[in-house]
Structure 1
Amino acid sequence: MRDRYFYEVMFDDTSIDVSKEVGLVWSIANSLRGAYTSDKYKDVIIPMVIIRRFECALEATKDAVVAKHKQNPNLPAAILCQVSQYPFYNYSEYNLKRLLDDSDNIASNLKSYIEGFSANIQLIMEKLLKFSTQIDKMDKSNRLYSVVKKFSDLDLYPSHVDSMKMGYIFEDIIRRFSENAEAGDHYTPREVIRLMVNVLLAEGCDDLLTEDGKIATVLDAACGSGGMLSTAYDFLRRKNPYVDVRLFGQEINPESYAICLADMLIKGQDIKNIMGDEEANTLKTDCFPDQKMRLVIMNPPFGTPWGGKDAPEGQEKAVREENKKGGRFEHGLPGTGDSQLLFMQHAINKLDKKNGRAAIITNGSPLFSGGTTSGESQIRRWMLEEDLIEAIIALPTQLFYNTDIGIYIFILSRNKRPDRRGKVQLINAVDMWKPLRKSLGKKRREIDRESMKKITELYSNFEENQYCKIFPNEEFLYKEYAVYQPLQRRGVLNEESIERLRTSSYFTSNSNIFNKTDFEQLKEMNPRSAADKKKYQKYLAGQQFVENVLAILEANRSDHVFMDYGEFEKHLKSLLSKVEGMSASRLNGIAMVLAMMDKTAVVQKDRKGKIIKDTTTKDTEIIKLTQDPEEYFYREVYPHVPDAIWAYEYDPEKKESSTNKEKLGAEFPFTRFFYEYKEPEKADDLLDQFMELEKSLSKKIAALQESEEA
C-alpha cells in the first residue's frame, strides 16, 4: 500500500446516538396531529430545530449582546457579532423558556424573539421557511405553547451536540420527511458522504492536509442540507486545523437550504457562498462563475428532467444556451429526462485546472445510457479523452433512505498521479456492507468502518484483484459499424404482395406521400391554417397517387416470380413510370415493399461490379477501439452471416451532419468486467436432489397419515 497516498478512514470509533434528541423532536411532531397533516409537520419542526440550535449556540453570550444593544440600538451588526462570537446574534430578551411566562401573548412574543435575530437568521426563518404563518396557525389550534415548551428542553448545545451529531439529527428529520420525496431526490447517508470525502482526499490533497494556511475551496452544486460540505469541512479541519476551508453551495429546496445556512453560520462560513431558492438552480446558473474549486462533492438528483414540459420554466433554454462553445455543457446534452451528466459537466467546469478533484454520486444511467452518437455517450467520450475519470466505485444497493437501486461514485481528477494517467479504475464494492438492525425507509444496509477502510485501500493501492480492475481509457471507447446483407430479393405482383404494399407504412404513414392519421385530422380541421391547407392538399395528391399505383398493379397482377430484383424493378418502371408524382425514389420504395428477401435470388451489383447493400437489413456492431474490426467480424459475424458487408459510415472529409456523424462513443459496462461464470449443476445431480426431496416428502406424508390413523 502507498502510505503517502492513503489517509486513515474518517469513522468515529464510538457510534453517534441521536435517539434522545430525535425521539423528543418526533414526540413534538406527533403533537401537531390534527392541526397538521403528517407531510406538513416539517413546516414547524425544521424552523423550531433551527431556532433552538441557534439559541443554544448563543446562550453563553446572550446577556452581553442584549446589554450592548440596549446601550445603543443602532450598533452595527458586526459589533454585535463580535460580542456573540458567531456571525449572527439575538438581542431580544426572550428565549424559548421565557416565552412560556406569558402564555396569552406567546405568538406575538415568539415573533418578537425571532425579529431579535440578526438579518441572516431572519432570512432563514421568514424568506425561506415563512415561519410567522406557522406561528399563527399553531396559536390558533392551541399547539404553540406545548411546542415551544418541548423545544425549550431540547439540548442542542454545541458543547454537547457537535456539528457531526447535529448533522445526524438533521439527517434523521430529513429522512423521515423524504420517505415520500419526489423521484430523484435522494438524501445521502452520512457514511456514504464520509466514504466519498475519504476517497476524494486520499490522493492529490497532501498540501491541504499537512500545510498551514492552505485554502481549500469546496463546492456542492446540489448541496441539500449541507451534509457533504459539513463532512468535508470536518474532515479537513480534523486532519489540519490550520487549513482555510471555504464552502460553496447551491440548493433550490427552501427547507434544505435553510438547514444548510444554519449549519454554515455556526461553522463561521460566509453564507454569501451558499446560494438558494430558484435563483440557485445549477442548471440555469453558475452562482460562482469566477471561482474555480479545489474540491467538488455532489449527489445530483437522479432521473429528473432538464427539459420538456416537466422541467422548471426557462431551464431548458438556459441549458441549451450553455451547450454552445465555451459553455458549461458544450460537450453534449443527455436526454431531456435525466440531468445527471449535466451536473457532472458543471462539476468538471468548476474544477481548478491544476489540481481540482471531484466525487459525484450517480445511478447506473450515466455509465451506459444512450446510443453511440447520443449526448450521454459523447459526454463520456469527452471525459475519457480528457483523462478526467480516475475511478468508478459501485456501491451496495439499499444504502439510501428512499431508493434501493445501485449507486456509483465517479472520482474525477485534474491531477492524476503518474501511474493513473490514461487509466480508469473500477472498484466493485457491492458486497461491502453490514445490515442495519432496523430498516430506515428503504435503507437496510450501511457501509461500516471495515468496509469503508477496505474500499479506500482498494482505491489507494491501485492494484488489480477480484474487487478492482484497471483499464486503459481506450477500453471504454468504441466504434459503431454498420452491417448489411447483399441486395437479394424476389419480386412478384400477386394478391399477397399488393396487399402488403396497400397496408404498409410506406403507403399509410409516409409524410412524403400519404399519412392516413394526419390526413383524417386535417380533414376534420376547420378552419385550417395556411400550412395545414398546404399539407392537406399534399395528402390529397398522395392519396390519389396511392390509388393510381394500386389500381395499375391490380390490373397487372401475376404469379410470375422475378428472381432478379433489377429485372423486377424494370418491370415496375414500365408499369408505373407515367403515374403522376412517380419518382425514382418512390419507385424504389414500392419495389422494396413488393419484393421479399431471398438468398437464392440474384445478388445485385452496381455498374462497377460492386455488391449493392440491402438497406433494410442494416444492423450495427459495437467494437471496442482496442479491437481489430476485421478480426472481430471474422470471429463474431461471418460465422452467422457469411456474406455480411460492413462499413464505418463516416467520412471525415465531408461536413458533419445527421447522416455523416462520427460513430465513436463510450460506455462503462461495469458489471460485465466483474461477471463470473458459474457452471450450472449437472442434470443428473439435479435429478438426484429431486428424488431425495421426493423421498423425504413421501416419508413425511406417510408419518402424518399414521398419526391421524392412531
Structure 2
Amino acid sequence: MSTLGSFIWSIADQLRGPYRPNQYGTVILPFTILRRLDCILEPDRTMVRELAARYENPNRLKVEVKKATGRTFYNTSNYEFANLLTDADGLADNLADYIDRFSSDVDVFEYFDFKKEIQALEKAGLLREIVQSFGTVDLHPDEVSNADMGDAFEYIIRKFNEAANETSGDHYTPRDAIRLLVDLLFAEKDVDLTEDGIIRSLYDPTAGTGGMLSLAEEHLLAENPEAKLSLYGQEYNPQSYAICKSDLLAKGHDATNIDFGNTLTDDAFKGRQFDYCMSNPPYGVDWKQYAKAIKEERDSAGPYGRFAPGLPATSDGQMLFLLHLVHKMRAPEDGGGRVGIVMNGSPLFNGGAESGPSNIRKWLLEKDLVEAIVALPTNMFFNTGIATYIWILDNAKHSDRQGKVQLIDGTSFWTKMRPSLGSKNREISKDDRAKIVRLYAEFEDADPDHSKVLGNDEFGYWTITVERPLLDLDGNPVVDRKGYPKPDSKKRDTENVPFTYGGASAGSAGEREVIQTYFDAEVKPHVPEAWIDWAKTKTGYEIPFTRHFYKYVPLPPLAEIDAALEKQVAKILKLLREVEA
C-alpha cells in the first residue's frame, strides 16, 4: 500500500458533502499531477519566465528551455502553488491561467476536464482548502521517486474505482507481474543491453498509467545507467493516459511519444517498429463495436496487414493486441524485436481447427515467433483470480531456440500477501521471479515439473471427418449414382490427429501418411466400414498447457475408499440418531 497515496487520498475527505466518493478521483488525480509538475518546475521557474519574455515563438522557447533545464516541457505563468493563495478572490482564474500556460505537449488536464472541476470546487467553497492541502505535499522527484509516485497513482486509482464500484484492474497491472515480464523480455539480450551508448525503443499499446514502461526503463538503467530507452505508448482511458503522459514528462521523455486513442482502430504509430513491445490487454473485452473497422482494415491491408492471420471471436479481443504487437516488432534484418504480453488462458486453445484463433496460433508457430509461455499463479491480479500467462515472442530467436517453444509452469512460485488487494492475495517475490527466470535461461527439461521444451509441430493437429454408411431398411448401404456409399450424418464423427502421431516428424507435410496411419490404428479396428472424407480435413493448432504438466494421481485402493465411506456413514447415522432423540 502506498503511504503517499493514502495521504493524498485523505485530502479527499475535504470533498465530502458536495462530492460523492465516486467523484473524488476527478479532483484528486489532476491535482496530484499538477503538484508533481509544479515541484519539478520550481527550481528553474524564474529562468523559464525570463526565457519566455525573450522568445515569443513557442518552438524556439522549447529549444531554449531544453538547453537550459534539460526538460522538454515548461510553464510560463506567473502563478504556482507557492503564490496562488495570495489572491483569494482570483484563485480560480489564476489556477486556470497556470494550467493554460503549460507548453503544448502538456495536454493532460484537458482529459480530466479540469477547468470545469476548478469552477465546481470554487462554487462549493472548497478550492482554497484543496489548493492549500496539496501545497503542503512535496512531490519533487528528489523527495518522491518515480516508483513511489507510480505506486501512489495506482493506489488513488484503485480507491477511486472501488468507490465507483468499477474494475480497477482494467487500468494497471501489478508491479510484481510487470517485473517478471520485463525480466523475461530482456533476458535473452541482457548482454547486448550493457553496451556503451546503447539506444533501444519500447512500446506499449495499452499503456494504462505507464507502469510497464516505467519498470522496463528502471530495469534497463539498472543494467546500464548510460543506456537510453525511448518509450512509446497509446492509451484510450482519459485518466490513465493523463497519468502516463505526465509521469513520462516528469522523467524527461518526449511527451509526443504517448498518444491517446484506441490502438485497434487508430494506430498512433502506424509504420513504426520497436525493439521491445509489451502489453497487458483487457481480457474478454467485446470488440463488436470496432468489428466493421477492423475487418475493413484486414481486407484492405492484404497479407501483410496486422490482422491478416485471422480474427478472434468478437467476444474477446486479446489476440487482436497480440497480432498488433507482432506487427510492431523490429524486422529481423534490423536486429529483430521481442514481445511480452500477459493474457488469460483462452488464446492458448480457444477455437477449433481453422477458426480465427487457431489460424492465429498456426501463423505464429509456423513463423517460429513464440519463444516461451509462462503460467502465472492464480489470484495475481486485482480484479480476477483466473489463470494468466506471459507470452514471450521473438522474430530473431537464438539458434538453440529456433523451431521450439518453452513452456514454464510458474503457478507454484508465489508468496502470500497480507493484506490482500481486491482479488490479489498472492505476489511473485524477488526469489520467485529469479526461479522462473532461471528456468527460462536454462532452456531445458532438467526440471520437467516446471519446464518443458517442445517443437512447434507438437502443437499442430488435423481434424478429420470420419463417415459411416447410410443403411437401407434391409441393412444394406445406400449408394449414390457412382456406386459410392452415402454417409449417415447421424453417425458422422470427427477426430483430432496430432502432427506427431506415431513419432512422425514431417509436420504438416506428413498429412496424408500420418492421418492414414492414425485411422488404420485407432478407428478402423472399431468401425471397419468407416472412411475418411479427405475434403473436410482441417488443420489446427492449440497449446494445451495444462495437459503437458498434468500429473496423474492414482486413486487409493478400493478397501481404503470403502473404509472412508463407512466412517462417514457412521457419522451421519450418529447425527440422525441424535436428531431423532
- Cα deviation, 1:153-173, whole Å, max 9, x if unaligned, reads 223220122212211112222
The residue type equivalent to 2:96 in the other structure is K
Secondary structure (helix, strand or coil) at the match of 2:384 reads coil
Deviation at 1:255, TM superposition (A): 0.9
Secondary structure (helix, strand or coil) at the match of 2:302 reads coil
User: Which residue number corresponds to residue 519 of structure 2?
Assistant: 633
| Change in 2 beyond 3 A, CA 1:313/1:97 | farther
Alpha-carbon distance between aligned partners in 1 of 2:467 and 2:291, rounded to the nearest angstrom: 45
Asked which structure has the greater CA Rg, the reply is 1
More displaced 10-residue stretch of structure 1: 38-47 or 458-467: 38-47
Alpha-carbon distance between aligned partners in 2 of 1:363 and 1:273, rounded to the nearest angstrom: 28
Alignment of 1:163-242 (within 5 A): 163-179=146-162, 180-181=165-166, 185=170, 187-207=172-192, 209-242=193-226
Question: Structure 1: which 5+ runs fail to align?
Answer: 1-16, 491-562, 564-600, 651-661, 706-710
Contact 1:329-1:346 within 8 A present in 2 as well:
yes
Deviation at 1:178, TM superposition (A): 4.3
Alpha-carbon distance between aligned partners in 2 of 1:649 and 1:470, rounded to the nearest angstrom: 34
Deviation at 1:692, TM superposition (A): 4.8
Determine if the alignment matches structure 1 residue 90 to structure 2 residue 75: yes
Deviation at 1:305, TM superposition (A): 2.7
Alpha-carbon distance between aligned partners in 2 of 1:186 and 1:612, rounded to the nearest angstrom: 57
Determine if the alignment matches structure 1 residue 18 to structure 2 residue 36: no
The residue type equivalent to 1:244 in the other structure is K
Contact 1:292-1:352 within 8 A present in 2 as well:
yes
Alpha-carbon distance between aligned partners in 2 of 1:184 and 1:304, rounded to the nearest angstrom: 13
Alignment of 1:25-174 (within 5 A): 25-69=8-52, 76-121=61-106, 123-126=107-110, 128-174=111-157
Alignment of 1:518-557 (within 5 A): none
Identity score, percent: 41
| Change in 2 beyond 3 A, CA 1:624/1:110 | same
- Cα deviation, 1:372-431, whole Å, max 9, x if unaligned, reads 111111111011100000011111111111122111111000121111110111111112
User: Which residue number corresponds to residue 684 of structure 1?
Assistant: 559
| Change in 2 beyond 3 A, CA 1:401/1:115 | same
Alpha-carbon distance between aligned partners in 1 of 2:138 and 2:426, rounded to the nearest angstrom: 29
More displaced 10-residue stretch of structure 1: 353-362 or 59-68: 59-68
Contact 1:24-1:154 within 8 A present in 2 as well:
no
Alpha-carbon distance between aligned partners in 1 of 2:249 and 2:299, rounded to the nearest angstrom: 35
Q: Of 459, 465, 488, which residue of structure 2 is paired with 1:476?
A: 459
Deviation at 1:231, TM superposition (A): 1.2
Structure with the bigger RCO (C-alpha within 8 Å, sep 6+) is 1
Q: TM-score, normalised by structure 1?
A: 0.74
The residue type equivalent to 1:175 in the other structure is R
- Cα deviation, 1:286-333, whole Å, max 9, x if unaligned, reads 3223322110011112222333xxx25963455444563221111111
- Cα deviation, 1:164-191, whole Å, max 9, x if unaligned, reads 2211112222333445446993621111
Deviation at 1:73, TM superposition (A): 6.4
- Cα deviation, 1:186-227, whole Å, max 9, x if unaligned, reads 6211111111110011003532x2112222011111111111
Deviation at 1:242, TM superposition (A): 2.2
Question: Structure 2: which 5+ runs fail to align?
Answer: 502-513
The total of aligned residue pairs comes to 559
User: Which residue number corresponds to residue 304 of structure 1?
Assistant: 285
Secondary structure (helix, strand or coil) at the match of 1:325 reads helix
Contact 2:84-2:91 within 8 A present in 1 as well:
yes
Contact 1:204-1:416 within 8 A present in 2 as well:
no
Alpha-carbon distance between aligned partners in 1 of 2:396 and 2:171, rounded to the nearest angstrom: 30
User: Which residue number corresponds to residue 406 of structure 2?
Assistant: 425
User: Which residue number corresponds to residue 672 of structure 1?
Assistant: 547
Contact 1:394-1:430 within 8 A present in 2 as well:
yes
User: Which residue number corresponds to residue 408 of structure 1?
Assistant: 389
The residue type equivalent to 1:411 in the other structure is I
| Change in 2 beyond 3 A, CA 1:701/1:327 | closer
User: Which residue number corresponds to residue 364 of structure 1?
Assistant: 345
The residue type equivalent to 1:400 in the other structure is F
Q: TM-score, normalised by structure 2?
A: 0.89
Alignment of 1:169-568 (within 5 A): 169-179=152-162, 180-181=165-166, 185=170, 187-207=172-192, 209-276=193-260, 280-307=261-288, 311-312=289-290, 315-316=293-294, 318-321=296-299, 324-354=302-332, 355-464=336-445, 465-490=448-473, 563=474
Q: Of 530, 542, 562, which residue of structure 2 is paired with 1:644?
A: 530
Alpha-carbon distance between aligned partners in 2 of 1:315 and 1:41, rounded to the nearest angstrom: 36
Contact 2:168-2:383 within 8 A present in 1 as well:
no
